[in-house]
Structure 1
Amino acid sequence: MSDTIVIPGEYEISSDPARLDPARIHLWLSTDAYWALGRSREQQDRAIAGSLNFGVYDRASGELVAYARVVTDHATFAYLCDVYVDRAVRGKGLGTALAGAVRDRLAPLGLRRVLLATDYAHGVYEKAGFAPITDPEKWMALKPQ
């Protein structure tokens, strides 16, 4: 399975961890992503190391312009998180392309459930096949200490 997907336009998506720019990812998430504000670089680096990561790259410059990571056991469950598109390239469909690439990469695994959480980007994820949970009363989360 190739780790690079060419998408229409000037971008490509890769799951090759060697191509990531951890400093840029940390800057984006710790300063501009409501769910990760203030996250330390050490914590972000651990999250990257323990996840399946996806980057969207400008084909001309090689620059990372968007990022997502997936926490998964590769057998039954996955959680899509830390999806971020650089403000300079928003509105080009990269978030939808990224969510679709994640969906397609996970499909052969036969996972029972792939989840994500978002405050305002429902439309982006719906285009990639995500839908609200129909039975949210079954789900619980451990309260932070």
Structure 2
Amino acid sequence: MIQVSTDKARLNINRIHQYLSTESYWAKNRDIDIVKRSVENSLCFGLYSDDQQIGFARVVTDYAVFAWIMDVFILKAFQGRGYGKMLMHAIMTHEKLQNLQRWGLGTDDAHGLYQQFGFTSLSKPQNMMEITRKITPNT
């Protein structure tokens, strides 16, 4: 049985860390302490096949105006079965995330998935700014 849960006690932090730090393109070498802190300070969604965690996503939000979706993944052995859609559906319909004015995310390769949930390219990219920093472990 496939299930989505926001219960942080069910999350397999070691599995999340392993995927993010070794398999993802966006979080290579991310320190486990950073993963733990990011989970503590986000609304997290675990995707489970029976009791085995097979996917993850987290949402950084103020629950009133804005939400940013981050660290979305489905383990390779479970990809291609619609589980990413299931995870995104759970996020987009979560009761605490309704009526937000703005959602955001970044992706190199999953535009088609996110477009199914209403995401588009930035309407005014010239209005957006960022700071990116290379963070070393334990900082």
Same fold (TM over 0.5): yes
The Cα offsets for residues 3-22 of structure 1, whole Å up to 9 and x where unpaired, read as xxxxxxx3111111111000
- Please point out which of 95, 104, 107 is paired with 2:93: 104
Aligned-pair Cα RMSD in Å: 1.4
- Please point out which of 48, 55, 61 is paired with 2:46: 55
Structure 2 residue aligned with 1:25: 16
Partner Cα distance (2:96, 2:124) in 1: 22
Partner Cα distance (2:117, 2:56) in 1: 16
SS in 2 for 1:18: helix
Q: Is the 8 A contact 2:63 2:97 kept in 1?
A: no
Where does the alignment leave 5 or more consecutive residues of structure 1 unmatched?
A: 1-9
Change (3 A) 1:144 1:127: same
Where does the alignment leave 5 or more consecutive residues of structure 2 unmatched?
A: 135-139
SS in 2 for 1:24: helix
SS in 2 for 1:118: coil
Report the residue type matching 1:34 in the other structure. Answer: Y
Once the two structures are aligned, what percentage of the paired residues are identical? 38
Deviating above 4 A after TM superposition, structure 1's stretches of 4 or more consecutive aligned residues are none
Higher RCO structure, 1 or 2 (CA under 8 Å, sep 6+):
2
- Please point out which of 80, 89, 109 is paired with 1:91: 80
Q: Is the 8 A contact 2:63 2:96 kept in 1?
A: no
Greater alpha carbon shift after TM alignment, 101-110 vs 20-29:
101-110
Shift of 1:106: 5.7
Structure 2 residue aligned with 1:7: none
Shift of 1:143: 3.7
Report the residue type matching 2:39 in the other structure. Answer: I
Change (3 A) 1:36 1:107: same
1:16 aligned onto 2:24: no
Structure 1 residue aligned with 2:70: 81
Report the residue type matching 1:40 in the other structure. Answer: D
